[in-house]
Amino acid sequence: MRPSLPLAAVFLLVATTVQAQPLTDSVEGASTGFGVSSFGLYGSAAYEVMPRLRLRGVLTGIPDFEFEGDKDDFGTEITADGSFGGIAALADYHPYGGGFRISGGLFFSSSDLDGSGRGFEADDGMRYDDARVDASVRFANEVAPMLALGYTSGGAHGWGFESEIGLIGIGGVEVALDGTSGDPSVDAEFEADLQQMEDDANETGSDLVVYPWLSLGVSYRF
């Protein structure tokens, strides 16, 4: 999957802007950062292991959440719980010795969602009002490659602003469905319809091979 034109334009704008700035900043010692990302909140820590090269860890996401929906809003009663986010282990290369960086590494996903609902309507219009359906949703790659471009303002020490944009190769979204019809006389039809819904959901999820990584926050260099 190729990045969209807007995403490519942002990459080009960041690189052009950095090239136009004087390379007076030095990247030394340790740093930390925190802010918001496309997974939720994030916190990071980095350390320079050699000139222009840093190792960085990022913890991001919502560790635990619950959701409940009633029949009036969703046509069925829904309960769900899960987590969204993960940990990134990255190497940051600063090609100009300043705040601009090119990053690559691995993203260890903790994103999963488990839920259940009462009532089920198949694509052919068949309704199973007494059915219970359990669902599980996860990224296909629990360990995913990650690439990003970022920039941190400020000097060699003290506070600054940071932003980053990139992609995480999640490999798709996997959906698993299970349940009971609540009526033994329609068990066979229910199983077939539920399997069809699972197949359709996985076909759609297989197209989501990358997840966008966006972050904006503040940093402190020691």
- Residue 61 has what pLDDT? 95
Dump pLDDT digits (tens) for 41-52.
Answer: 999 999 999 999
- Residue 97 has what pLDDT? 85
- Residue 1 has what pLDDT? 38
- For 89, 104, 111, 138, 173, the CA distances from 85, given in Å and listed in that order, are 13, 17, 5, 11, 14
Report the distance separating Cα 117 and Cα 127, nearest Å: 13
pTM for this entry: 0.79
Mean pLDDT of all residues in 159-181: 95
pLDDT at 73 over 90: no
Higher pLDDT, 23 or 203: 203
pLDDT at 169 over 60: yes
Q: Which of 68-77, 160-169, 173-182 has the highest mean pLDDT?
A: 160-169
Report the distance separating Cα 77 and Cα 8, nearest Å: 41
